[in-house]
Amino acid sequence: MNTALLLEKYGQIFDENLIQEIAQIGIFKTFKKNDIIIDINQTLKFIPLLLSGNIKILREDDEGNELLIYFLEAGETCTMSLTCCLGISRSKIRAVAEKESSLIMIPVQYMERWFHNNESWRNFILESYQIRFDEMLDAIDTIAFLKMDGRLYKYLLNKSQLYNSKSIAIKHQDIAEDLHTSRVVISRLLKQLENENKIKLSRNKIELI
């Protein structure tokens, strides 16, 4: 168990007793970029707490097309997996490592116990639900009310914030998959954004201006 990382990311969130318990029962795991951490229809036996890296949460339609729902950053958990654990149902999302990531996997039986007897855990769960709910509303608004060029630019702004950099290393095909459209459409809209002086394009890299 990487206790130093645990304290760094969750020391201000959880009380000392909970930190010690997580360090004792948690399972430390690392994932490479594009590794699937949680898959659709998977029975969940662990709750992930993200220590480092980023994770993207995806939904899939009946034809196997993926749609990006939101990103997770260090110090967060996936509330959709929490919901599945509470309802003892299978996962309805796919969680994929956006880059090399490390997590602590908490056995699900501790989730309900801590919710009732640990205030810091209860507050963390409730706040996580609120954050994810707001992000999903934002995702719905983006899909419903923004044209694809607006969705693309918002996606790039979110990526820039996620990586804390105006330079984003990403392929056009990867963007197309996240936004559930074609690479040709993305390439055309990126060129349009470049002509509007909002971005600068280079090979497998996009720089926000």
Tokens 């993207």, residue located? 56
For the entire predicted model, the pTM comes to 0.73
Copy the structure tokens of residue 18.
């909970």
What is the rounded distance in angstroms from the CA atom of residue 138 to the CA atom of residue 145?
Answer: 10
pLDDT tens-digit map of 93-114: 899 999 999 999 998 888 888 9
**Other beta carbons within 10 Å of 196:** 11
Quick one: angle between helices 183-195 and 172-179, nearest 10?
110
Domains annotated for the chain, with CATH where assigned, are 3-144 (2.60.120.10), 147-208 (1.10.10.10)
Evaluate if residue 145 carries a pLDDT over 80.
Answer: no
pLDDT attached to residue 84: 66
Q: Which residue has the higher pLDDT, 194 or 180?
A: 194
**Which of 42, 50, 85, 68 has its CA nearest to residue 136?**
68
Which residues touch 144 (CB under 8 Å, ≥6 apart)?
Answer: none
**Which of 76, 69, 25, 23 has its CA nearest to residue 46?**
25
Of the pLDDT bands very low, low, confident and very high (cuts 50, 70, 90), residue 89 is low
What is the rounded distance in angstroms from the CA atom of residue 81 to the CA atom of residue 99?
Answer: 20
What is the rounded distance in angstroms from the CA atom of residue 73 to the CA atom of residue 56?
Answer: 9
* Terminal Cα-to-Cα distance of the chain (whole angstroms): 41
pLDDT attached to residue 135: 81
What is the rounded distance in angstroms from the CA atom of residue 88 to the CA atom of residue 141?
Answer: 30
